[in-house]
Amino acid sequence: MNKRKILITSALPYANGSIHLGHLVEYIQTDIWSRFQKIQGHEVYYICADDAHGTPIMLRAETEGVTPEKLISLMYNEHLRDFTNFHIKFDNYYTTHSPETSYYSKDIYNKLKDAGLIAIRNIEQFYDPVKNMFLPDRFIKGECPKCSAKDQYGDNCEACGAAYAPNDLINPYSVISGTPPITKNSEHFFFRLSDHRCIDFLRCWTNEADHLQPEVANKMQEWLGGAGEKKLSDWDISRDAPYFGFEIPDAPGKYFYVWLDAPIGYMGSFKNFCEKNNIDFDEFWGENATTELYHFIGKDILYFHALFWPAMLKNTGYRIPTKIFAHGFLTINGEKMSKSRNTFITARSYLEQGLDPEYLRYYYAAKLNGTMEDIDLNFVDFIARVNSDLVGKYVNIASRAAGFLVNHFNCQVTNLSNQNTTHLSPELKKFKPNLVEELLKSADVIQAYLENRHYSLAISTIMTLTGKVNEYWDQQKPWEKAKQLDDITQRDALHIASSTTIECFRILTIFLKPIVPELAKRAEAFLNIQPLHWKDLWNALPQGHKINTYRHLMTRINQTQIDALIDTNKQVLGLSMDNTSSQNNIKIQQYIVTPISKIIL
């Protein structure tokens, strides 16, 4: 097998809100893929960071009476702690507010400028005369021009659904100071995305070599337009002071818009990692890099990752991503995550109920399929699936067979291929290799499913095999054989059945390891073996290998834990939410803010 060199990223969580179950879809999806590639024996780095800049962070720090630096440092710790507790294993978790990201932001900007791809234009924007700052559209509210509903955002009305521009609002006001905004001119810097160098490149890139999922590629065609059409316009990459971010070189009072430096944060975080571990940065980011680079993202930020980002890299002498993997949103019980239904659940509140993170990892894997479709977390299904598959079927295999080996065979397994089998019946000799081989025969298809992010199909394949092992065990009736231990044939048959079953458990553990790494670790301890890799599929436990006494590897989910989770969530939300009833998932996400008193732990 040739060893691949792979750099993997997840999108950078914004340093303004807590990690919730929706975020975790992405980090769990990515982490499974990263762990899968690692146990294949490839050289893999999984990199992420907090996205630390922008107006919302600046304003929130002000509201909380701390510096932005203090705020993002607190959020950084909270995020990393939550991820770690869900067994998300980054090789480096950093922040965009770093010298490395600053360096690459300026480097990329300067190269774009030298290439003639930066334009400076005067634009008119809303301005808060009290706060002395320009206002993004979302910071302006007013009455809907159509239905007169109050307190509507500048883009559309949540009461009647009308779409309009901010200056159509009746009695507009700044969300920050409450005063009516005025309009004001200012110079802005634009990345000339409409330049033919960008458009021609993107037309090719988005359509070739499976850089994008098919449905994403179609979407990009829509955004790019056909040949001759000019749908892409230039991208405004500057913001005026006051702003929390990096100042643009030779442009006092002008800052890079947070979305410019966010993806560059992937480079910054990796550079930071390279310095600490003596790894060649250019091998992964140089123009002609032959290593692989994958970005896992949500479908909401495709624009940035499939258009702006490749166009920036293409024109500044860096490599282009190998592929972009976009996933859908999470719904809960078939509905969007919602505060009023108490289904806006943070990572923290899940853990505080004592729910095992492996449950959620397993469940998400059972739902994920490599497309951009949304996935649903249905609590009834969640409980049934985890309890039935993971505990009832998989873990139960070890629990059923272990006692016989411990009680009658000094904890030792027998390996049929290494022992004298002359006294066994032909059926018995056949059975074990057949079952083990049947499991091993599925290795390739499971591997392919995981590689292609069809986790749900991988899981259903693994669970079919798990069912077969339980079936085999039932057919063997070891509990009957255990009553006739004086009969050498029965005794050997019992030893073979138990050892075969444990060997199958070992194989299933390898299959499941990227998905439920901590459960796999407990299984390894039970089996008394070194950490398993994919190649170990074909290295059966040797003759005479001793396993440990079985202890519970996983307990079942209790309905009361789920009830408590929803109840607790209700209280937490009541304390920390503002009362906007936004229809928009992303907006909700942005305004979910943990009071700072809660994050200073």
Partner RNA sequence: AGCGAAUUAGCUCAGCCGGUUAGAGCGACGGAAUCAUAAUCCGCAGGUCCCCAGUUCGAAUCUGGGAUUCGCUACCA
Q: Which of 586, 595, 597, 600 binds RNA (CB under 7 A)?
A: 586
Alpha-carbon distance 590 to 587, whole Å?
Answer: 5
DSSP secondary structure, 261-297, as one string: HHHHHHHHHHHHHHHHHT--HHHHHBTT--SEEEEEE
Coil, helix or strand for 21?
helix
Question: Cα-flanking dihedrals φ and ψ of residue 94, to 5°?
Answer: -130, -160
Query: Does residue 100 touch RNA according to CB under 7 A?
Result: no
Instruction: Give the shortest CB-289-to-RNA separation in angstroms.
Output: 27
- Please report how close the Cβ of residue 540 comes to RNA at its closest, in angstroms: 21
Q: Select the span of 64-72, 196-204, 281-289, 300-308 touching RNA (CB under 7 A).
A: 300-308
Q: Which is nearer to RNA, 44 or 324 (CB)?
A: 324
Q: Which of 233, 418, 489, 559 binds RNA (CB under 7 A)?
A: 233
Which of the residues 38 through 57 are near RNA (CB under 7 A)?
51, 53-56
**Could you say whether residue 306 binds RNA (CB under 7 A)?**
no
Report the residue from 299, 341, 408, 521 that binds RNA according to the rule CB under 7 A: 299
Q: Which of residues 435-474 bind RNA (CB under 7 A)?
A: 456-457, 460, 463-464, 467, 470-471, 473-474
Interaction between residue 393 and RNA (CB under 7 A):
yes
To the nearest 10°, report the CA torsion of 317, 319, 320, 323.
-170
At 47, which helix (H) or strand (E)? strand 43-50
Task: For residues 117 and 458, give the distance between their C-alpha atoms in angstroms, rounded to a whole number.
Answer: 45
Q: Nearest distance from residue 166's CB to RNA, in Å?
A: 8
Answer for which of 336, 408, 429, 570 binds RNA (CB under 7 A) is: 336
Smallest distance from RNA to CB 20, Å: 14
589 binds RNA (CB under 7 A): yes
Residue 556 touches RNA, criterion: CB under 7 A:
yes
What the block records as the tokens of 100 is 């490395």
DSSP 388: I
Q: Among candidates 118, 121, 123, which has minimal Cα distance to 106? A: 118
CA dihedral sign of residues 341, 343, 349, 353: positive
Q: Tell me which of 365, 405, 496, 553 binds RNA, using CB under 7 A.
A: 553
Helix, strand or coil, per DSSP, at residue 38? helix
Tally the residues of the chain.
601
Cα separation of 188 and 477, whole Å?
77
Angle (CA) 583-238-261 rounded to 5° is 75
- Smallest distance from RNA to CB 512, Å: 15
Q: Does 155 bind RNA (CB under 7 A)?
A: yes
Q: How many residues make contact with RNA (CB under 7 A)?
A: 82
Comparison of 262 and 540: residue with beta carbon closer to RNA: 262
Cβ 514 to RNA, closest distance in Å?
20
Any contact of residue 163 with RNA (CB under 7 A)?
yes
Minimal distance, residue 456 CB to RNA, in Å: 6
Q: How far is the CB of 45 from RNA (least distance, A)?
A: 24
- C-alpha closest to that of 45 among 58, 30, 60, 57: 30
* Interface residue with RNA, options 65, 226, 334, 426 (CB under 7 A): 334
Report the C-alpha gap between 473 and 460 in whole angstroms. 20
Q: Which stretch binds RNA (CB under 7 A): 196-204, 263-271, 368-376, 567-575?
A: 368-376
Residue number with CB closer to RNA (319 or 495): 495
CA-wise closest residue to 97 among 7, 188, 12: 12
CB of 564 to RNA, least distance (A): 19
Please list every residue from 128 through 147 that binds RNA, using CB under 7 A. 136-138
Please choose, out of 40-48, 179-187, 252-260, 350-358, the segment that lies near RNA by the rule CB under 7 A: 252-260
Q: Specify the amino acid at residue 420.
A: N
For the bound state, the minimum distance from the C-beta of residue 425 to RNA, rounded and expressed in Å, comes to 21
The number of CA neighbours under 13 Å toward the Cβ of 64 is 23
Q: How far is the CB of 242 from RNA (least distance, A)?
A: 14
Q: Helix (H, G, I), strand (E, B), or coil: what is residue 225?
A: coil
554 binds RNA (CB under 7 A): yes
- Using CB under 7 A, pick the residue from 23, 192, 211, 219 that binds RNA: 219
Confirm or reject binding of residue 580 to RNA (CB under 7 A).
no
Contact indicator for 256, 246 with CB cutoff of 8 Å: yes
Q: Shortest approach of RNA to residue 566 CB, angstroms?
A: 17
Interface positions, 258-287, toward RNA (CB under 7 A): 258-259, 262
Q: Using the minimum distance from each CB to RNA, give the nearer residue, 268 or 289.
A: 268
Q: Which residues, 396 to 415, sit near RNA by CB under 7 A?
A: 396, 399-400, 403-404
List the one residue out of 385, 367, 331, 378 whose CA is nearest residue 458: 367
In degrees, to the nearest 5, what angle opens at C-alpha 596 toward C-alphas 61 and 31? 95
| Chain Cα centroid distance, residue 317 | 28
Closest CA to 222 of 247, 250, 202: 202
Write down the H helix ranges in 184-233.
Answer: 196-205, 214-224
Two tokens, residue 380: 């009834």
Residue nearer to RNA on the CB measure, 6 or 212: 212
The verdict on 558 binding RNA (CB under 7 A) reads: no
User: In the set 78, 91, 195, 389, which binds RNA (CB under 7 A)?
Assistant: 389
Q: Yes or no: say if 179 and 148 are a contact pair by the CB < 8 Å rule.
A: no
Q: Is 245 in the site for RNA (CB under 7 A)?
A: no
Q: Sign of torsion, CA 310 315 316 322?
A: positive
Collapse the DSSP code of 55 into the 3-class scheme (helix H, G, I; strand E, B; otherwise coil) and give the result: helix
Full strand arrangement of the beta sheet holding 375-377: 335-336, 330-332, 375-377
Least Cβ distance, residue 390 to RNA (angstroms): 9
Q: Which residue has the tokens 């490395």?
A: 100
Is 543 a binding residue for RNA by CB under 7 A? The answer is: no
232 or 520: CB nearest RNA:
232
Q: Cβ closer to RNA: 78 or 292? A: 78
Among positions 391, 502, 537, 540, the unique one binding RNA when judged by CB under 7 A: 391
**Interacting span for RNA (CB under 7 A) from 64-72, 200-208, 506-514, 579-587:** 579-587
